[in-house]
Chain A
Amino acid sequence: DTAVSQTPKYLVTQMGNDKSIKCEQNLGHDTMYWYKQDSKKFLKIMFSYNNKELIINETVPNRFSPKSPDKAHLNLHINSLELGDSAVYFCASSQGKAQGVGNTEAFFGQGTRLTVV
């Protein structure tokens, strides 16, 4: 059983389009994340949600809008895609309480390779 699953795995689209990436975790975790990995493999957190509530937003352009319908899902919608958005996007989840106690390791999905042409 896949713990953190993302769809699609690959996404090729033209500049200016709007696209979504879906993420689901079946680990019962309270917290979910989106990370962006650039062409140099550098990983940076974008967003974090705890029980459907946004708790971390790392100065990501507002073209990126995460949505969490329930604590097991965190989707990422991107409007007006730009060439610089090309990257691998990773969803992750971790166990933890609202105040972060016990929130340690993160479990990652397989990633979505987004290519904007």
Chain B
Amino acid sequence: AQSVTQLDSQVPVFEEAPVELRCNYSSSVSVYLFWYVQYPNQGLQLLLKYLSGSTLVKSINGFEAEFNKSQTSFHLRKPSVHISDTAEYFCAVRRFSGGYNKLIFGAGTRLAVHP
């Protein structure tokens, strides 16, 4: 069965510093991976996804994640963060069971960007 582990519950960082949010998954089959972001008091928004092809995927706001099959990881990175990036970030893997799909989420990582 697939599962997702986000190794850090909180990541404090100063503005303009680089950041990495770690995500590891366990799966014995082909993997679809996602990062969702939840800004304060809002719903989840898809940040980026890996379905197939290039292992490096990018979002429009400067985040990127790399699918690493050998390390079963899908870490999220940004070279220079902004105050507005403060949010909860969730890594998720698609689980296919009984003919249908569902997303399995990690516990989330709170990114707190300080001035």
Instruction: Show the binding face of A for B, using Cβ within 8 Å.
Output: 4, 31, 33, 40-45, 48, 50, 55-56, 90, 92, 94, 96, 98-100, 103-111
Contact = CB atoms under 8 A, between A and B. Distances in A.
Given A41-B107, A43-B90, A108 B44 contact: yes
Interface in B34-79: 34, 36, 38, 42-46, 49, 51
18 contacts: A33-B102, A40-B107, A41-B38, A41-B108, A42-B107, A43-B44, A43-B90, A43-B108, A44-B105, A45-B103, A48-B102, A56-B102, A92-B44, A98-B99, A104-B51, A105-B34, A106-B46, A107-B46
B98 A55 contact: yes
A33 B105 CA distance: 14
The 9 tightest CB contacts between A and B, nearest first, are A108-B44, A110-B43, A43-B105, A103-B101, A100-B101, A41-B108, A108-B43, A100-B100, A55-B100
A48 B107 contact: no
Q: Is the interface of B mostly helix, strand, loop or mixed?
A: strand
**Chain B CB within 10 Å, residue with most, of A4, A31, A94, A104:** A104
A109 B43 contact: yes
Nearest to B94: A104
A21 to B, nearest CB: 13
Contacts of B101: 31, 94, 96, 100, 103-104
